[in-house]
């Protein structure tokens, strides 16, 4: 696959932005466990928070491949900033696809312009991959719904203004929009994460949170089968692309280090075992990138098989980035275990990608089931 001239120009623009505005803050973001507000402001100023939304609502209306390239480049700079794009986009797309026109007109321009940040509340303390078993409840009461429950590991939960919350309504998973500041709604920061430390992870508590019935997204019972699936498909795609960017960062750091580091009187780059690791990095990064481009192209065409292509891309890319990051640390030796070198952070960030938006094991089950059905 070859990128169009316009996509190539976009890639150059994204890379320049990341080099100048994101990478200089990445270590600080990780250390302070928050994205520097100036970085968020710069992402907003470029319109990237609306990259996935149509122009009629103030978005950039990027094609799917360009959208993937954006997430790749930002993932190269800082996994936590990439996670901001992912969850914010998930909520925006849920409203775009399943919301009413009133919801679209009210919320999407604000999300596209970055006037509001949004977060995705599905996972709970006792519920991860088995999403259909969510325990949070929503009970109709006149013109309102009353929500009770707890959400955990919510990316951007510390700072988001709008939350897409999944709860059982009439016994069926259903999606609702909940604003920060609603009575009974509270968040508690979760710190000390291994990777993606600046993602502002939080636990959410809902105690008799009353919201208008107009805040339901879709219909009762559509929460997982329709709304969440739309969100998670986008999430897997952007994470897969982010994995490619993170692996590219590991590759570039490894090449740079192997050029200047000398052992036994020679640069590391002349060591054949180091060359082997670099070769594997190059080939695996290219393979994962092509899987992402393929998924993006199929999405752009509206091909229903793009869903499984995205599963494959996320599965391969998340495994790949862990191998590449591990080899990058190995090439750096003891320096790779020290926060003064970016690969230490990259190594920690890489592991998160095997867990979020579907674990490696869930991907293996579903990809295999699809193979048995179609081959």
Q: How many CB atoms lie within 10 A of CB 312?
A: 18
3-class DSSP state of 99: coil
Contacts of 234 (CB under 8 A, 6+ apart): 52, 86, 89, 90, 93
- HEC sequence for 267-293: EHHHCHHHHHHHHHHHHHHHHHHHHHH
Contacts of 13 (CB under 8 A, 6+ apart): none
Where are the extended beta strands (E) located within 94-201? 118-121, 137-141, 144-154, 162-169, 172-179, 185-189
CA distance 14 to 85: 14
- Measured N-to-C along each axis, helices 64-77 and 5-17 cross at an angle, to the nearest 10 degrees, of 20
- Which residues are marked as active site? 357
Backbone angles phi, psi at 180, to 5 degrees: -60, 145
CA distance 105 to 127: 33
Q: Which two tokens stand for residue 173?
A: 């998973």
């Amino acid at each position: 696959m070859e990128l169009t001239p316009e996509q190539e120009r976009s890639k150059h623009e994204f890379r320049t932005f990341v080099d100048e505005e994101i990478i200089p803050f990445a270590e600080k973001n990780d250390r302070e466990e928050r994205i520097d507000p100036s970085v968020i402001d710069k992402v907003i100023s470029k319109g990237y928070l609306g990259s996935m939304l149509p122009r009629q609502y103030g978005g950039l209306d990027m094609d799917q491949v360009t959208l993937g390239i954006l997430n790749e480049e930002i993932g190269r700079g800082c996994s936590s900033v990439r996670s901001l794009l992912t969850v914010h986009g998930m909520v925006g797309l849920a409203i775009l696809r399943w919301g009413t026109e009133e919801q679209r007109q009210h919320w999407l321009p604000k999300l596209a312009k970055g006037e509001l940040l949004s977060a995705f509340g599905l996972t709970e303390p006792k519920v991860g991959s088995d999403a259909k078993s969510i325990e949070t409840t929503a009970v109709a009461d006149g013109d309102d719904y009353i929500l009770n429950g707890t959400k955990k590991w919510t990316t951007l939960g510390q700072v988001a203004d709008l939350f897409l919350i999944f709860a059982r309504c009439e016994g069926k998973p259903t999606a609702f929009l909940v604003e920060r500041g609603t009575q009974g709604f509270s968040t508690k920061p979760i710190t000390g994460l291994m990777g993606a430390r600046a993602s502002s992870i939080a636990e959410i508590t809902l105690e008799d949170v009353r919201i208008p019935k107009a805040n339901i997204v879709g219909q009762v019972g559509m929460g997982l089968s329709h709304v969440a699936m739309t969100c998670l498909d986008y999430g897997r795609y952007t994470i897969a692309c982010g994995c490619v960017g993170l692996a590219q960062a590991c590759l570039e750091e490894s090449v740079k280090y192997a050029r200047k580091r000398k052992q036994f009187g020679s640069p590391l780059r002349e060591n054949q075992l180091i060359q082997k690791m670099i070769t594997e990095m190059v080939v695996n990064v290219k393979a994962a990138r092509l899987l992402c481009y393929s998924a993006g192209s199929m999405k752009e065409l509206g091909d229903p098989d793009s869903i499984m292509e995205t599963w494959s891309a996320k599965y391969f890319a998340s495994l790949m980035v862990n191998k590449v990051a591990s080899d990058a640390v190995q090439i750096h030796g003891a320096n790779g275990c020290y926060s003064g070198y970016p690969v230490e952070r990259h190594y920690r960030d890489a592991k998160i990608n095997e867990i979020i938006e579907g674990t490696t094991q869930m991907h293996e089950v579903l990809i295999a089931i699809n193979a048995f059905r179609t081959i």
